[in-house]
């Protein structure tokens, strides 16, 4: 391997820019060489700083121009929207709860609307069909927060966010059905027509609940100078708060609504039989579905891997555990969704859920999710505030009838 000094690297960079053409590949190589040059001169601390810068730049490439402008303190006089669906709205006076909060700037995301219309757009700084990923829609800030929250509390990932999404938050009724027993039949010529209606039900959604991350205050200097780094920092804070609050609410709904499928023999142990009895208690049409799986916290998962999945004395539990293509550990070939809001193993606790997660619906309003930047409210202390708002509720989709319990729970003996 050739070792090069800072002088060697600088000479190589000059050689690149002295050529007649400067394609994208040459630009990328030039930038890489200059980073190495800077790191060579400054040593390890500079390398660490460059790593953080690279992370910030990578985050910047995943969010759209409207998001970048929002976190760089841009204050538009008129609403502005990017081709990938990021919308910036400026409100001179914002009132909430009868109190004025001064001028605010909203960031909303309409990428879900664009996707519904099957539109495609070129990636950032590229033309359609470009070598660096053209024909791709950059991920917006708000979908990024939700995606990260789903990985933090994986009950949110397992849930069905599609069929209950609404364009506004008003109360609405949604039909549901159960059809686990009726099959298609052969029909002979001239036979009479036959009928077999499924069990129809109705899900009455109330006015969509509004959730807030609570405002996070940042100094004016940080707001002005941080840009993408501030966006990455707040994305992390928002996703954790979202998962801790709404994720815990979803688990509470599941535990309250799902019937008991099996009860452990002891108060502090789970056996293979307990897990199999839980699976057997769920209608096979749900239990065998591609969307079925487990929910438990990480402590319970480790307990099962150590004491149930294999012998504790053999020491090969981690090696025998398989994962699906999304990284979820498989039990009985079904994915485990890890949720920190689930109970630990203990008397009368509910440490495990199993069933068809496509029947756990999250009603949300994608276009009303927003990040608010308070431009005036905290200015007395030379600060600005950021708050993440979204509207969502959750329910298990029942339609009535025998066996219509798509998700059941394992309860520890008292």
11 confidence band (pLDDT: 50, 70, 90): confident
**Residue 176 resides in a domain:** no
Could you read off the pLDDT of 298-353 as tens digits, one per residue?
999 999 988 886 554 454 555 567 888 888 889 989 999 999 999 999 999 999 99
What's the mean pLDDT in 88-99?
74
Secondary structure element (H or E) that encloses residue 219, with its range? strand 216-219
**Residue 407 resides in a domain:** yes
401 confidence band (pLDDT: 50, 70, 90): low
Q: Is the pLDDT of residue 358 over 60?
A: yes
**Residue 326 resides in a domain:** yes
The whole-number pLDDT of residue 375 equals 87
Give the CATH number of the domain where residue 309 resides.
Answer: 3.30.2320
**Residue 316 resides in a domain:** yes
**Residue 277 resides in a domain:** yes
Q: Is the pLDDT of residue 130 over 60?
A: no
Q: Determine the structural domain holding residue 350 and report its residue range.
A: 259-357+402-411
* Count: domains in the chain: 1
Please give the Cα distance from 80 to 312 (Å, whole number). Answer: 59
The whole-number pLDDT of residue 91 equals 83
**Residue 3 resides in a domain:** no
Q: How many residues does the chain have?
A: 414
Please give the Cα distance from 180 to 174 (Å, whole number). Answer: 20
Angle between helices 6-17 and 24-42 (to 10 degrees): 160
76 confidence band (pLDDT: 50, 70, 90): confident
The whole-number pLDDT of residue 58 equals 56
The whole-number pLDDT of residue 176 equals 77
Query: How far, in whole angstroms, is CA 16 from its chain's centroid?
Result: 42
**Residue 238 resides in a domain:** no
**Residue 348 resides in a domain:** yes
Contact partners, residue 271, CB within 8 Å, separation at least 6: 264, 265, 308
Whole-number average pLDDT of the chain: 79
Both structure tokens of 98: 């009868």
The whole-number pLDDT of residue 245 equals 95
């Amino acid at each position: 391997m050739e070792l090069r000094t800072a002088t060697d690297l600088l000479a190589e960079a000059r050689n690149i820019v002295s050529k007649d053409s400067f394609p994208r590949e040459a630009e990328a190589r030039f930038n890489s060489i200059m980073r190495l040059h800077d790191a060579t001169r400054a040593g390890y601390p500079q390398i660490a700083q460059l790593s953080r810068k690279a992370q910030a730049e990578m985050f910047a490439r995943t969010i759209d121009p409207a998001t970048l402008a929002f976190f760089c303190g841009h204050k538009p006089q008129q609403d502005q929207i990017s081709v990938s669906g990021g919308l910036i709205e400026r409100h001179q006076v914002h009132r909430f709860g009868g109190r004025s909060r001064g001028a605010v700037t909203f960031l909303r995301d309409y990428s879900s609307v664009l996707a519904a219309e099957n539109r495609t757009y070129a990636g950032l700084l590229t033309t359609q069909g470009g070598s660096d990923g053209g024909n791709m829609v950059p991920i917006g800030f708000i979908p990024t927060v939700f995606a990260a929250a789903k990985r933090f509390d994986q009950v949110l990932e397992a849930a069905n966010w599609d069929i209950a999404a609404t364009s506004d938050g008003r109360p609405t009724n949604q039909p549901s059905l159960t059809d686990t027993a009726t099959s298609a039949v052969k029909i002979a010529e001239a036979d009479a027509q036959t009928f077999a209606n499924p069990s129809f039900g109705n899900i009455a959604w109330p006015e969509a609940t509004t959730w807030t991350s609570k405002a996070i205050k940042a100094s004016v200097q940080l707001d002005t100078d941080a840009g993408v780094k501030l966006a990455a920092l707040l994305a992390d804070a928002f996703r954790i708060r979202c998962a801790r609050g709404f994720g815990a609410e979803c688990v509470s709904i599941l535990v309250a609504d799902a019937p008991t499928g099996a009860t452990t023999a002891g108060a502090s142990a789970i056996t293979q039989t307990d897990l199999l009895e839980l699976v057997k208690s769920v209608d096979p049409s749900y239990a065998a579905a591609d969307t079925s799986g487990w929910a438990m916290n990480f402590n319970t998962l480790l307990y099962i891997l150590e004491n149930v999945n294999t012998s504790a004395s053999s020491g090969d539990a981690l090696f025998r555990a398989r994962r699906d293509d999304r990284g979820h550990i498989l039990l009985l070939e079904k994915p485990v969704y890890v949720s920190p809001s689930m109970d630990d193993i203990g008397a009368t606790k509910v440490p495990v859920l199993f069933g068809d997660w496509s029947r756990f619906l999250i009603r949300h309003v994608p276009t009303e999710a927003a990040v608010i930047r308070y431009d005036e409210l905290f200015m007395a202390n030379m600060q600005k505030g950021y708050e993440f708002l979204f509207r969502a509720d959750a329910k298990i989709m029942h339609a009535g009838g025998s066996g219509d319990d798509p998700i059941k729970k394992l309860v520890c003996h008292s």
